[in-house]
A and B are shown apart, each in its own frame.
Chain A
Amino acid sequence: MKEKLTALQNEALEQVEQAQSLADVEKVRVAYLGKKGPITEVLRGMGKLAPEERPVIGELANKVRAAIADAIETEKRILEEAALNEQLKTETIDVTLPGRPVQVGGPHLLTQLIEEIEDLFIGMGFEVREGPEVETDYYNFEALNIPKDHPARDMQDSFYITEELLLRTHTSPVQARTMGEYQGSKPVKMICPGKVYRRDSDDATHSHQFTQVEGLYVDKNVRMSDLKGVLNQFAKQFFGPEREIRLRPSFFPFTEPSVEMDISCKVCKGKGCSVCKQTGWIEILGGGMVHPKVLEMAGYDPEVYSGFAFGMGPDRIAILKYGVDDIRHFYTNDRRFLEQYHEA
């Protein structure tokens, strides 16, 4: 019996080894380990054996059975793996073909700049305010100390709707509105981005509609050196730490003293080139100390409060920063233009 079992084992293992496919392996399994297989038969015939032989033969039979089952499992795994490898080979793709396009939009260049400016000033404690685009003559001019005979108040130079209403020519009325709202009760620290309108014919450098960002800080003991410090901080962050700023005296009816701010030319680094018209400097914004009449009209006592205001044009900044050659690009929304600025 022992010999028979050993022979069975050798025979089965040999067949497993010769199996070429999972089906062959299955045949071996059915033939040797199936219910009608020789090992089952041996185990069934145990009763006919001598009692002392039974445990010996039983043990041996189980060992043989386990050895065959083991061999079958191993062979199966090898064959399965080979089959999988075979299959994966057929699944090979061309990894150089293009990926499936994803449709994603993006923000307008002016919005990006305005939000960047907003974020810089928010970081310095400013709030962001908005105001109406159709303004009253009072807020657009009167409250800003712009005299009646100022050219901008001429019907020819601004977009009037009635004698009292016009499209705002700057975002400065929001200064007056914000101070007027607080009525001298607390400091004001705000910027106001928005659309403004002037009676210009549209061409490469003029647009009847453009954007502005106005800033205002009113508090007790605000100094002109604070204006210089804040604008310097803004310029270094916005344009880069290597850029220098320069303030020049200027004139605006709603500030006194007034300033214009230049930043050093990026192209020639201050040496003078065609971009900066040989001056080494590029004009970037206007501002100054809030005129006492403006404070007074808005309910702030100019003996107690002082402040500074400034205004800049994102359109102009975009033109300077990116070298955009025509201001109309901002408003025709040519996809080929907009998409250039969707990249990081």
Chain B
Amino acid sequence: MQVSLNWLKKYVDLDGYTPDELASLITKAGIEVDGVAYFAEKSTGVVVGSIESCEQHPNADKLKLCQVDVGDETLQIVCGAPNVAAGQKVAVAKPGAVLPGNFKIKKTKLRGEESQGMICSLDELGVKEAYLPKDAADGIHVFSDQVEVGADVTDYLNLDDAILEFDLTPNRADALSMIGVAYEVAAILGRDVRLPEESVETIAEKATDHVTIKVEAREDNPYYGAFVIKDIKVGPAPQWMQNHLMAAGIRPINNVVDITNFVLLEYGQPLHAFDFDKFGSDQVVVRRATDQEKIVTLDDVERTLTTDHLVITNGTVPTAIAGVMGGADSEVSDETTTVLLETAYFDPKRVRIGSKDHQLRSESSSRFEKGVDPNRVRKAGQRAARLLAEYANGTVLSGISEFDELDRSEKQITVTVERINNRLGTEIEASEIAVIFEKLRFQFVQDGDTFHITVPTRRQDISIFEDILEEVARIYGYDHLPYTLPEGSQQAGQLTKNQQLKRYVKQYMEGAGLMEAITYSLTTDDRAKLLISPEVEAVSKSAVRLSRPMTEEHSTLRQSLLPEMLHTLSYNVARKEQNLGYYEIGNIFIGKEEVVKTQPKEKLRLSGAITGKWLTHEWQQEAKSVDFYLAKGILDELFTRLKVTPTYKQIEMKQMHPGRTAQIFIDDVAIGFIGQVHPLVEKDFDLKETYVFDLDLDHLFAIHDDEPSFTKIPRYPSIKRDVALIVDESVTAADLEATIIEAGGEWLQNVHVFDVYQGEHLEESKKSLALSLLYFNPERTLKDEEVEASYEVILEKVKAEHDAVLRA
């Protein structure tokens, strides 16, 4: 809503406030003013002139020589505008005038003829492009009204107007009208509201004799009123009305259309003027359209209707889509002499459907959609009839032909001073509250500390105590509310165990050298099926897809964080960042049904990806490429810190390197995987060797043991024994370790591979694993013989189970 202050002044006194001060006060009271705009840039010395004569310039084809009466003198002015003519009243910048851009007007000679000033267009007078009528560029401005020759044009042309741009919240439909804005500003400033004149002189002839109203869709249209105005002369609307419309961003057309638009803005009540002679009957029938029914609307588009749409008809064919747009057949034209003026209340929902289906959002439909004031419907029609009589030569027939089942009742709300103060945390006196209601022009009956309020129907947004509370608070001023802290139950806040663990894991990952990424949850259909962890794949019935994605790029919810993470790597590699390590903690979405019906399962995952070199090449160290064991090392330490023991089992997974991927288990529960991305997938993402991991954090958190405990620091020394075993290359480290742990006896605490060798001095297909065995007895110092005995058993066992021999 664009609010012209020159217009608003007609209803409420704005003296003493600058536009910026008003904007600030209105914003603080609840309607955000986005900005203050000015109708025109500043000019001085421009007056009304009357063109006495207009002749061809002797030396130039395109110029005219005009004698212009400017009141105290007659000036000769050379003018090049195509529309200049004798008898016109125009805006004249006299010598000494200053036009926008500090353009000083002086006497001059043009092609040998003296020119004592300049006849101006609105554009030259600095009217901003946003407000200029379309044809304003065609030439000088010509006054259509009675204007006083010699008078300053500022007032006539609204050049000093300031316009407030309201950013209205959906509840404040009342401020979609100048009267509504006037009530708001009057409440804020504590001033009176002057309502417009609605009384109209009518002739004896009755509207009801000319037109009858029949509403078939009564719920869609509880009120329909029609005025009949004859003897209309279509022409330009008065300048002041055109000015107001332009300032509001509406292009003036002709007096009839301008008057309906003016009243729409003034009252917030959309009106429609039909050319009654072209209407086609003497009855208005309001009904739902039939399927496939057609209407050509004012914009010359043929529209196909359905039974969802409400139409105004002449009993036979539609003449308007109710509240949305009129039909072309009955459009007001220069020849129109009799107008059927419609003022109605249409059901917001019906109008919304109509405007949405036909993609016609207009000043009218947007007001009907929010619900117009039921007590202003008839008044607005009357106001328009009055203006038609005054400015379009209209003769108004008496009465309104109408259908009326409209509920105009006002809501009653009772509030107490105590309850208001309790909720606001204030100590406002009853008398002060009474003043606030008076400012808002809410009728009320005060009974001590109790107020019985009658809410005016213009404020459709107010229906309960809390709405009244807001009115009191905002007029009292949010600024004046005190600052307090809650007095209720005081409890300490704390992160939950899982939230703490999540932060712990994040910090660990960062300490381990990875940076946190946040990627999109919505990915492509294809990516939603990539790199899904086996235990997720096993339970997923579907990838969850949006019913109407905006783009294929973000159409389906992820089932793994990894595809978007590979995309992240790819994005960075394309920007010459080759060495990368990222992790992300986020939800994946697992469809519970093949065709999604219920909320998908959301699981918290921890994923990571590394590519390129890990250590940068520096003078003191060689850069090293990332590998499986770097990724695994990061996880191993994480598991140690989370106090769980993982098992890694070789696995073949789609999209992963068949020989370099392991599924991870904790106590036989599958919790994720780790490995190298399949080179073909790497290629798809333009990546070199890349290692990834993906873990079920929900599970890791669920099994986390947070019992506080203490293990004694050993008093006795442990004994370390190293052994190098030659085995077939198919024997895994885990197999060997398992056998050793099993055979090692009570005091064997730990087995750890510290070297792997394959090559010279070894048979092909054999490898040597060097293991370190750690023995420890918390009770006493172990004897060498005890360790020796265990060692012998181990050697026997690994020989028997893995054909392992001691390396010489």
Contact = CB atoms under 8 A, between A and B. Distances in A.
Interface string B459-475: 00000111101100110
A331 B519 contact: yes
A285 to B, nearest CB: 14
Nearest to A220: B488
A106 B518 contact: no
Contact of A105 (B426, B499, B513, B577): B513
Interface in B468-504: 469-470, 473-474, 478-479, 481-496, 499, 503
Contact of A256 (B470, B482, B521): B470
Contacts of A223: 422-425, 484
A165 B503 CA distance: 30
Given A103-B614, A165-B596, A306-B423, A133 B587 contact: yes
Contact of B484 (A225, A289, A331): A225
Interface stretch (B59-67, B597-605, B641-649, B772-780): B597-605
Given A111-B506, A122-B493, A128-B496, A217 B486 contact: yes
A116 interface: no
A246 interface: yes
A288 to B, nearest CB: 8
Contacts of A219: 486, 488-489
Nearest to B589: A134
A108 B469 CA distance: 42
B521 A162 contact: no
Contact of B512 (A105, A220, A221, A247): A105
Nearest to A217: B486
Interface string B432-469: 00000000000000000000000000000000111101
Contacts of A199: 550
A178 interface: no
B618 interface: yes
Contacts of B32: 248, 250, 260
B571 interface: yes
A333 B517 CA distance: 6
A136 interface: yes
Contact of A338 (B352, B513, B516, B620): B516
B537 interface: no
Given A105-B512, A128-B499, A161-B545, A248 B493 contact: no
B349 A331 contact: no
Nearest to B493: A122
A2 interface: no
Contacts of A97: 619-620
Contacts, number: 240
B749 interface: no
Interface stretch (B121-129, B256-264, B578-586, B662-670): B578-586
Contact of A333 (B352, B473, B519, B544): B519
Interface residues of B, number: 95
Nearest to A150: B170
Interface string A291-324: 1100000000000001000000000000000000
B548 interface: yes
B479 to A, nearest CB: 7
Contacts of B616: 101
A277 interface: yes
A296 B554 CA distance: 37
Interface centre among A115, A246, A257 (most CB of B within 10 A): A257
B625 to A, nearest CB: 14
Contacts of B478: 228, 246-249, 259
Contacts of B489: 187, 219
Given A122-B495, A249-B470, A256-B470, A224 B510 contact: no
Contacts of A201: 550
A233 interface: yes
A330 to B, nearest CB: 6
Given A103-B615, A107-B516, A121 B464 contact: no
A90 interface: no
A4 to B, nearest CB: 57
B553 to A, nearest CB: 9
Interface string A330-344: 111111101100100
B493 A121 contact: yes
B789 interface: no
Given A115-B503, A162-B596, A223-B484, A335 B515 contact: yes
Interface stretch (B23-31, B40-48, B276-284, B379-387): B23-31
A37 interface: no
Interface band, chain A? 35 or more
A98 interface: yes
Contact of A228 (B482, B494, B620): B482
Nearest to B551: A201
Contacts of B30: 248-250
Contacts of A259: 478
A339 B515 contact: yes
A230 B522 contact: no
Nearest to A257: B470
B483 A127 contact: no
Contact of A229 (B483, B550, B577, B580): B483
Interface in B497-536: 499, 503, 506, 509-522
Contacts of A232: 483
Contacts of B509: 105
Contacts of A258: 470
A333 B571 contact: yes
A217 B486 CA distance: 9
B544 A331 contact: no
A162 B519 contact: no
B715 interface: no
A32 interface: no
Contact of A292 (B464, B513, B520): B464
Contact of A103 (B465, B473, B547, B581): B581
A264 B338 CA distance: 58
A149 B518 contact: no
A105 B510 contact: yes
A248 B27 contact: yes
Contact of B487 (A121, A165, A221, A338): A221
Contacts of A128: 493, 495-496, 499
Nearest to A129: B496
16 contacts: A98-B619, A100-B620, A104-B511, A107-B516, A125-B490, A127-B496, A128-B496, A162-B597, A197-B521, A257-B469, A257-B473, A292-B466, A331-B518, A333-B568, A333-B582, A335-B577
Interface of B: 27-30, 32, 35, 169-172, 348-349, 352, 422-426, 464-467, 469-470, 473-474, 478-479, 481-496, 499, 503, 506, 509-522, 544-550, 554, 557, 568, 571-572, 575, 577, 580-583, 586-587, 589, 596-600, 602, 614-616, 618-621
Interface of A: 97-98, 100-101, 103-108, 110-111, 115, 118, 121-128, 132-136, 149-150, 155-156, 159-162, 165, 167, 187, 189, 195, 197, 199, 201, 208-209, 217, 219-226, 228-230, 232-233, 246-251, 256-260, 277, 289, 291-292, 306, 330-336, 338-339, 342
Given A108-B517, A292-B464, 6 more contacts: A133-B589, A162-B597, A165-B598, A250-B30, A256-B466, A257-B470
Question: Which 3 A-B residue pairings sit nearest by Cβ, starting from the closest?
Answer: A225-B425, A249-B30, A223-B425
